Structure 1
Amino acid sequence: MLSFFTFAKDLKSIRKALLFSLLLFALGVVFGWIGTEGLEKLLMQQLEGLRTISGTLKESSNPQWSFFVFIFLNNSIKGVVIIFLGALFGILPALFLLINGAVIGYIVHLSALQGQDLFTLIVKGLLPHGIIEIPAIIIACAFGLQFGANVVASMFRRTGRSGTRGEEWTFFMRQTLTASIWIVILLFVAAIIESTITFSLLS
């Protein structure tokens, strides 16, 4: 049940939700790049919060360990919780994707406007850990969107055999359990990379 092969099969079964998640994330990046005034204020609040936390972690006795613990716990908790928050019609996973995409788009665009080295930002600052972290978050949100779609489908589906419906939900909840475990594993690896390789490259 918890094998990677099972996880891969589960991903194939929600490929429409995966594609939609990828689209929402890409739209978020575009919105962040465009950066309307209202959106800029929201993103700046997000970034200021991250700067405050980053400053506190850098002042700890072991910054790399502090960064690892914070990054892993923050991402893994959000990654798992967002799956089950998808039960609220998939609204929160969709917003989560848009906001996270917007933050990346805004940071890259702002760095370009300030004349900063985009190669350093993207290849050194985002790519090492992002190549694992971003897909993991997109996958988590895809399961959240699928959760919402299943809830909506159950509400409007004609009354049928309760056993069949129960079996479908049992199967999907098994999928979310498998996904949760593998998402945590992927984010664990990403946190190691971000707190070591990325940390060293940007120091």
Structure 2
Amino acid sequence: MYRFSIFMKDLAAIKLPLMISAVLFALGIAVGWIGSGPIQDIIVKEIQGLGEMSQSLRQSDHPELSFFIFIFLNNSIKSILVLFSGILFGIIPIVFLAINGMVLGFLLSVVESSGGDLVELIFKGLLPHGIIEIPVIIIACGYGLALGGLSFKSMAFNKDRGSGIKMQWREFWRKSRTGSLWIVLLLLVAAVIESTITLWLVS
């Protein structure tokens, strides 16, 4: 039930929500890159908060361990919450994707416009851990959107389709347990990379 092969089969079964998640994240990046006015103010506050947290972690006795604990707990807790919050018709996963995409897009835009080395940022600061972390976040949100779709279906079900909806709910809870396990494990790997290799490359 918890094998990686089953996890991959489950992902194939929710490929539409996964594709929607990827598109929403990409749109968020585009909006963040172009963003201005109120959107920019929100993104700047988000980045400032992350900067302050990063500075605090760097000043700890064991920066790498502190970064690892913070990154892993922050990402894994948020991802599991966003997965199950999809029951509220998928609204929270959509917002989560948009905000994370906008923050990333705005950060890349600022580096590019200020004359920074965008290629270096991507290959040293994002890719080492992001190649795992970003797809996993999209997967968590894909599960959330699938759960949101199931919530909409349940509102419209009739007596003839009631048993079918119940089966879909049972199957989704089974998928969500397998998905949650692999999401956390993959984010654990990403946190190890980000708190060691990425931290070393950008220092």
Task: Return the TM-score normalized by structure 1.
Answer: 0.98
The residue number in structure 2 matching 1:96 is 96
User: Structure 1, residues 82-139: CA drift from partner, whole Å, max 9, x if none?
Assistant: 0110000000000100110111110001100100111221000000000000000000
Distance 2:159 2:83 in 1: 26
Q: Contact conserved, 2:112 with 2:118, CA < 8 A, in 1?
A: yes
Q: What are the ranges of 5 or more consecutive residues in structure 1 without an aligned counterpart? A: none
1:52 deviation in Å?
1.1
Aligned residues with identical type, % of pairs: 49
Q: Kindly provide the amino acid, as one letter, of the partner of residue 2 in structure 1.
A: Y
User: Structure 1, residues 9-42: CA drift from partner, whole Å, max 9, x if none?
Assistant: 1000000001000000000000000012111100
The residue number in structure 2 matching 1:136 is 136
Q: Contact conserved, 2:64 with 2:196, CA < 8 A, in 1?
A: yes
Task: Give the 3-state SS of the residue equivalent to 1:89 in structure 2.
Answer: coil
Distance 1:143 1:160 in 2: 26
The residue number in structure 2 matching 1:40 is 40
The residue number in structure 1 matching 2:195 is 195
Distance 1:152 1:161 in 2: 14
Distance 2:195 2:25 in 1: 24
1:192 deviation in Å?
0.3
Distance 1:115 1:161 in 2: 59
Q: Kindly provide the amino acid, as one letter, of the partner of residue 88 in structure 2.
A: L
The residue number in structure 1 matching 2:84 is 84
The residue number in structure 1 matching 2:115 is 115
Q: How many residues align?
A: 203
Note if 1:8 corresponds to 2:8: yes
Distance 2:164 2:104 in 1: 43
Task: Give the 3-state SS of the residue equivalent to 1:160 in structure 2.
Answer: helix
Q: What are the ranges of 5 or more consecutive residues in structure 2 without an aligned counterpart? A: none
**Cα distance 1:119–1:42, how it changes in 2: closer, same or farther (>3 A)?**
same
Q: Kindly provide the amino acid, as one letter, of the partner of residue 55 in structure 2.
A: G
1:161 deviation in Å?
5.4
Distance 2:148 2:168 in 1: 14
Stretch of structure 1 that moved more, 14-23 or 155-164:
155-164
1:47 deviation in Å?
0.6
Distance 1:154 1:90 in 2: 14
Task: Give the 3-state SS of the residue equivalent to 1:61 in structure 2.
Answer: coil
Stretch of structure 1 that moved more, 149-158 or 60-69:
149-158
Note if 1:177 corresponds to 2:177: yes
1:69 deviation in Å?
0.2
1:200 deviation in Å?
0.3
Q: Kindly provide the amino acid, as one letter, of the partner of residue 19 in structure 2.
A: L
1:162 deviation in Å?
4.1
Note if 1:58 corresponds to 2:53: no
1:176 deviation in Å?
0.6
Task: Give me the CA root mean square deviation.
Answer: 0.9
Q: Kindly provide the amino acid, as one letter, of the partner of residue 183 in structure 1.
A: I
1:175 deviation in Å?
0.4
Q: Contact conserved, 2:31 with 2:102, CA < 8 A, in 1?
A: yes
